[in-house]
A = this chain, B = another copy of it.
Amino acid sequence: MGWGDLGAFGEPSKETPNLDQMAAEGMLFLDFYTANPLCSPSRAALLTGRLPVRNGFYTTNGHARNAYTPQDIVGGIPDSELLLPELLKKAGYVNKIIGKWHLGHRPQFHPLKHGFDEWFGSPNCHFGPYDNRERPNIPVYRDWEMVGRYYEDFKIDLKTGEANLTQLYLQEALDFISKQQASKQPFFLYWAIDATHAPVYASKQFLGTSQRGLYGDAVREIDDSIGKILNHLQKLGITENTFVFFTSDNGAALISAPKQGGSNGPFLCGKQTTFEGGMREPAIAWWPGHIPAGGVSHQLGNVMDLFTTSLSLAGLQPPSDRQIDGIDLLPVILQGKLIDRPIFYYRGNELMAVRVGLYKAHYWTWSNSWEEHGKGIDFCPGQSVSGVTTHTQEEHTYLPLLFHLGRDPGEKYPLSFASEEYQRAMERISGLVQQHKATLVPGQPQLNVCDQAVMNWSPPGCEKLGKCLKAPESDPKKCFWPH
C-alpha cells in the first residue's frame, strides 16, 4: 500500500472507514518511512530494528540495486540477527506470523527458528501459477509444515482477482487472539497480509465493491478485516493492553497501476525508488486509553522503530551488542514528544538520500535504467522531474540535491546550491552522513546468490500431501537484479 491509499491520507474515493476510524481513535503518523523501498529488506528491518545494509538484506551484485527473496534465493535472515519475536519470548510472549514471511525460505530461515511460535502463510510472494517443473508453486505453511500450495490448494483466480486469502488470514488472527486471551498469555501478532501486492486479490464479497477497481477491492477487504480485528480486541476487553500499529512495507507499486497499483498521494514515484513515493508509508498507532484520540504526529518514524517500541512496551531493552537503528516511539505516542533523528534512504548497498527535519538530500538519484524504461517498466508513471527522476544512476555526493519537503513534498524543486539555506541545511546533514558512514559495519550480503535447486520443491510436510517435487541440480549463480 502507499501513503495515499487511505481516506485519512487523502485517497479521493475514501473507502477505508475502519482505518480512518482507527486513526481518529489513535495517532496518525504523516512522516513515517520504511527502511527500503522493497518488501524483503523492509520486513527484515522491521523485525530486526536494523537497516538492511546491516542485517544482510541487500546485494552487492550491482550498485544500488533492489533485491529481495524470490524462490531461487540462497540467502535469508542470518542466525546472528536477533528478531523481535526471539526477544519478546523472554518476556513470555507468544508470537505468531500470519501471511508473508519473505526473510528466506530454506530450512534455516524458517520463522519458527527465529522466534515465532506459530505461522500461517507463505515464505514468498503469491506469484504463479507455475508448472512445478521449471518452478514449483509457492507453499503455504502452518507452523513447521506446508499445508498446500498457491493456485493448487489455495486458489487465486488471476482473471477475476478472486481469492479468499485475506479471510483466511483474518480468521487466523481472530482465533490466535482469542486463544492467547483465553490462556492469559501476552502475544505478538505480525499480521503480514499481501492482498495489495500484484497479483492483487480480494474475496468474492469484496470484488467490484470499490470505485478503484480490483486494487480498491483488496484495500476494502484489508480495511474491513482490520475493523474486525480491532472490534475483536474490544469484545475481549483487551484494547487497553493491546498496542496496534498499522503500516506498509513500501510505497505503492505504480508499475502495477492502474489495475493493480495504489496511490502515493502527492509524492514522487513509487515502490523501488528512494523518492518519497517509494518510502513514505501510511502509519497509525492505536491503543485506546493510552494514545490520545485524533493525534497527529510529524515524528520522523521508521518501520525499524516498531522493533524498539515493541520491546519497550514489553519492558525489554534492545540488544546492546549491535547497532539498532529503530528508536522507541513511546515518548512520541504517549507524550507527544518529537525526537530529532535522520531517515536514511537506501537502495541496496547505497545510501541514496537522507532526511533531516524537513530537508531531504539526494546523494544519488535513479528511477530505473533507460533499457528497462524502454520496455515499459516505469516506477514514476506520468511523473518526470528533470535531473531528479533520472534513468541513469546520477551521483550527487559532492553536491547533493536538496529538497524542502514542507514547501515541496513532491521533490520537484531542488534548492539553489548557492543559497544560504542550502549551505545551512547541508552542513548539518553532511555531519550526520559522515558519522553514519564512518561507523557503518555492513552485514554479509544475503541476496547475492540464486540457485534453482533451493526453490520450494519439497518443503517439510510435502510427503504427507504427496506434493514433493524433484529439485534440479544445484547451479548457484549471481542473482540478476535489474533495478
Chain A positions near chain B (C-beta within 8 angstroms):
3-4, 7, 9-14, 28, 30-31, 210-213, 215-216, 257-259, 263, 265-268, 296, 298, 358, 381-385, 404-410, 412-413
In angstroms, how far is the closest chain B Cβ from the Cβ of A265? Answer: 6
Known: A213-B407, A268-B382. 16 other contacts (CB 8 A): A4-B266, A10-B11, A10-B266, A12-B267, A13-B30, A13-B406, A14-B30, A210-B406, A212-B407, A216-B407, A257-B408, A381-B412, A381-B413, A382-B385, A382-B412, A383-B384
A235 to B129, CA, bound (A): 65
- SS of A interface (majority): loop
A410 to B257, CA, bound (A): 11
In the complex, chain B residues whose CB is within 8 Å of the CB of A267: 12
Of chain B, the residue at the smallest CB distance from A21 is: B294
A258 to B409, CA, bound (A): 9
Q: How many copies of the shown chain assemble into the complex? A: 2
A11 to B409, CA, bound (A): 9
In the complex, chain B residues whose CB is within 8 Å of the CB of A215: 407
Docked-complex contact A10 and B13, CB < 8 angstroms:
no
In angstroms, how far is the closest chain B Cβ from the Cβ of A394? Answer: 17
In the complex, chain B residues whose CB is within 8 Å of the CB of A265: 4, 10, 12, 265-266
A155 to B30, CA, bound (A): 36
Contact partner, A258, options B3, B31, B413, Cβ 8 Å:
B413
30 contacts between A and B (CB under 8 A): A4-B266, A10-B266, A11-B266, A12-B31, A12-B265, A12-B266, A12-B267, A12-B405, A13-B298, A13-B406, A14-B28, A210-B406, A211-B358, A211-B406, A211-B407, A212-B407, A213-B407, A215-B407, A216-B407, A257-B413, A258-B407, A258-B412, A263-B266, A263-B409, A265-B266, A266-B266, A381-B413, A382-B384, A382-B410, A384-B384
Of chain B, the residue at the smallest CB distance from A385 is: B382
In the complex, chain B residues whose CB is within 8 Å of the CB of A413: 257-258, 381
Known: A263-B266, A266-B263, A266-B266. A409 touches B358 (CB 8 A): no
In the complex, chain B residues whose CB is within 8 Å of the CB of A211: 298, 358, 406-407
Of chain B, the residue at the smallest CB distance from A413 is: B258
Of chain B, the residue at the smallest CB distance from A409 is: B12
A400 to B259, CA, bound (A): 21
In the complex, chain B residues whose CB is within 8 Å of the CB of A28: 14
A31 to B3, CA, bound (A): 20
In the complex, chain B residues whose CB is within 8 Å of the CB of A406: 13, 210-213, 216
A212 to B404, CA, bound (A): 9
A4 to B405, CA, bound (A): 15
In the complex, chain B residues whose CB is within 8 Å of the CB of A14: 28, 30, 296
Contact partner, A30, options B12, B213, B296, Cβ 8 Å:
B12
A254 to B169, CA, bound (A): 44
In the complex, chain B residues whose CB is within 8 Å of the CB of A210: 406
In the complex, chain B residues whose CB is within 8 Å of the CB of A3: 12
A263 to B10, CA, bound (A): 12
